Amino acid sequence: MLTERARCLRLNAGLPKSFWAEEVSMACYLINISQRASLVGKVAKEVWTGNVVDFGHLRIFGCLTYVHVPSDKRSKLYTKSKKCIFLGYKKGVKGYKFWDPDDKKVVNSTDAVFHGQFMLQRNQEKVQMKLEHIPIAAILERIESSNPTSGGSSTIDL
């Protein structure tokens, strides 16, 4: 189960096999914070520590990120962020692990902007705007016309 999840993470991210340690670590982390039927839908970490698990920190393995470069590590002509790839979470400390493809090294940081985060926010805003501009009568009419027994289509396009 662990190897299958790890393989899926790597293939979805499009990373080479050399990232196997990071993909297995991330898969293990995700399994440990997932709900279990044997624990009546609770998370193992929650049962073990007694604390409610927060999922707000979760990010997509392999997503594009822009990691802030501290001012003491750059000159004034250098960019303030580096394009990196998200690899997971740093054990024992608060922060994320990233792959810097330019310097070919792992970077740890808490100061990063995740590209997928903006895409998700933009998509949610588009859906919200789209729904706000459609009259409720038009939505109901589309739902009624989508009834398969009336010969309409089975999908509703907003």
Could you report the per-residue pLDDT of 84-123, keeping only the tens digit for each? Answer: 999 998 887 788 999 999 989 998 898 888 875 555 555 5
pTM of the model: 0.65
pLDDT 10s digits, 25-80: 999 888 888 877 777 777 877 888 888 888 888 888 898 999 988 888 888 888 88
Please state the rounded mean pLDDT for residues 133-158.
51
Between 143 and 89, residue with greater pLDDT = 89
91 is written with which tokens? Answer: 């054990």
7 is written with which tokens? Answer: 């393989």
Q: Is the pLDDT of residue 18 over 70?
A: yes
Question: Of 129, 149, 145, whose CA–CA distance to 137 is shortest?
Answer: 145
Q: How confident is the model at residue 154 (pLDDT cuts 50, 70, 90)?
A: very low
Residue 143: exposed, middle, or buried by beta-carbon count in 10 A (0-12, 13-18, 19+)?
exposed
